A and B are shown apart, each in its own frame.
Chain A
């Protein structure tokens, strides 16, 4: 490849002769040109962009896409470029740009997806997984590759959220299975206030499943009174809003589980357990082992609490407060 590069020729090219839409080798998305413009204004273009000449005598950008956008915005009409030879193959052009990019900056998630998508034109998926996913810092497996390849189908607003790390990649992947307006609505909800990625994942799954369970639209779920009320609340701060929305969605998604938890708490509250004594059910009530937690500072205090517990009436019926309930 280096030998071919040496044959490239420096030439001054009119900016208007270069295709400046993101081309087949571009891997730039959602970037800020201002620092680059400021640098170019002061020192000029330190490394010339690489171009390929098309059959119609116009030029495709191989490397230096952002530099070219910057100089255009700065009002330049021409620029010194390296013109790759006609024999320079597109796959090598893509590798050149990838090499240029990964050696001097971190690609964001969407840019990594662009790299993978472009590689699919030339390589089998197995080769991309083995040889390229590790290079750009992605867990190398088929499922992750599919996830990344699907990102290009998503709307610019969603891709921008992913690129800025305001929306989880996994959630973006899940959004592919729903309609455009629905995913944009979810993107708005998840980026209008700060969520953790785990909360985003749970909330998105639940919203989609609630809509399916209740036969309503995703928009109806999100715009329904409770969530809107929380979002507009003046009393709650952002973390409180997120917790409240998660709680609302959970109760709607898992009505039986949430009702059972309530019954359990209610059943325990009737017992008036000693202070610092807690009965903890198995996770999701799936196992049969309940745990007793006693907080104490000294052995004497523990002894007292154990004695109190042993005299306690009502412990016999502690566990299955939910039994006998019917579920629809």
Chain B
């Protein structure tokens, strides 16, 4: 299991009494601890580096379970985000959190366990609805699990919730804890995948493609349902061949039958993010593609380029297996039709499509 360097713990006043904070402190016995106020940035906080070696334990006062904000003008999947913390110890150049949250340090919400009851009530109050929930939007679901032990309590909790699934999305191969767990039901382990070139140049400190796929294979053999996310797809010279090779590797190790879905999404960014990325990763080639302003103000690859990328990947995926639950993340009806040959037409219908996959593929 890869362990990341944590050089100090910042603990916000009030968080020190939470059981999760206590467990984390026990797991990191020799790391210096500083007590800080709620809005106080740590002294000498390394803003440019996002201060990724500081673990900040804090109470979260917002809603732990919130719908993914989606984006206007495009079809969204109706995902629910479980806020366990923000930022992650890896450093993908394209990460939207650099501008979306723009707060340094690895932030762990120490009062998560206390709020599980509330989350459970929300889920139980709509028994006919399927809650597709993930922890991998604002952090990596597994990279800090060896410190936080998130999966120790999230797996048993969601395994019992019949109308929900928990998707743990990662770019690591840190699966030891989940493999040891006896809970499989309603847990989906997801990998964000990209070509080896993109992983090497843009996804700093993440696991290699092969490690991720081998970890996925182990999870599959251990009885977990899997999903994969090709997001962000990056357009660069040779992309077609290299994404093809990435899919070939996936096909070699993974049984498609228990893959619940595979999402495709292309690199998109708000204008502010470009400034931040250029500053944090000078000379990056990530903006070399042909980006134009989208309907939601984000820059995206020019439409024919997106269509070509989605078409090629989805055709190849279809050859592998014709029921992989391939869907597009934040794309228009028009792009869906041109790329995949069909469209859910609306966010509500995409939700229904993905919910039906949960009903069919996730064992009761």
Contact = CB atoms under 8 A, between A and B. Distances in A.
B313 to A, nearest CB: 15
B283 A177 contact: yes
B332 A288 contact: yes
Contacts of B62: none
A146 B276 CA distance: 12
Nearest to A282: B295
Contacts of B73: 287
B302 interface: yes
Contacts of A327: 304-305, 308
B104 to A, nearest CB: 13
Interface residues on B, range: 20 to 34
14 contacts: A143-B275, A177-B279, A177-B283, A212-B285, A213-B288, A254-B290, A256-B304, A256-B305, A260-B302, A284-B302, A286-B294, A286-B303, A326-B308, A328-B237
Contacts of B278: 177
B338 A257 contact: no
B293 interface: yes
Interface of A: 143, 146, 177, 209, 212-213, 253-257, 260, 283-288, 322-323, 325-328
Given A256-B304, A328-B237, A286 B290 contact: no
B341 to A, nearest CB: 13
A207 to B, nearest CB: 13
Interface in B253-290: 275, 278-279, 282-283, 285, 287-288, 290
B222 interface: no
Interface string B88-114: 000000000000000000000000000
A75 B334 CA distance: 77
B302 A256 contact: yes
B278 to A, nearest CB: 6
A177 B285 contact: no
B292 interface: yes
A90 to B, nearest CB: 24
B300 interface: yes
Interface of B: 73, 237, 275, 278-279, 282-283, 285, 287-288, 290, 292-295, 300, 302-305, 308, 332-334, 338
B304 A260 contact: yes
A71 B290 CA distance: 57
A177 B274 CA distance: 13
Given A177-B282, A209-B287, A286 B305 contact: no
A323 B302 contact: no
Contact of B292 (A143, A213, A257, A288): A257
A323 B305 CA distance: 11
A140 B278 CA distance: 22
A213, A283, A286, A328 pick with most chain B CB within 10 angstroms = A286
Nearest to A210: B288
Contacts, number: 56
Contact of B295 (A146, A213, A287): A287
Contacts of B305: 256, 327
Contacts of A256: 290, 302, 304-305
Nearest to A177: B282
B37 to A, nearest CB: 14
Contact of A254 (B237, B300, B302, B338): B302
A175 B333 CA distance: 40
B301 to A, nearest CB: 9
B302 A257 contact: yes
Contacts of A213: 288
B155 to A, nearest CB: 40
B285, B302, B332 pick with most chain A CB within 10 angstroms = B302
Nearest to A326: B308
Nearest to A258: B290
Nearest to B296: A286
A260 B282 CA distance: 31
Given A323-B338, A327-B308, A328-B237, A285 B290 contact: no
A-B complex: 4 closest residue pairs judged by Cβ atoms: A284-B292, A213-B288, A254-B290, A288-B334
A285 B302 contact: yes
Nearest to B338: A323
Contacts of A328: 237
Given A177-B278, A213-B288, A323-B338, A286 B304 contact: no
A326 B285 CA distance: 22
Given A143-B275, A284-B302, A288-B332, A255 B292 contact: no
Nearest to A325: B304
Contacts of A288: 332-334
B305 to A, nearest CB: 5
Contacts of A326: 308
A213, A284, A287 pick with most chain B CB within 10 angstroms = A284
Nearest to A257: B302
A146 B305 CA distance: 35
Given A284-B302, A325-B304, 16 more contacts: A146-B279, A209-B287, A209-B288, A212-B285, A254-B290, A257-B290, A260-B302, A283-B292, A284-B292, A284-B293, A286-B294, A322-B304, A323-B304, A326-B308, A327-B304, A327-B305
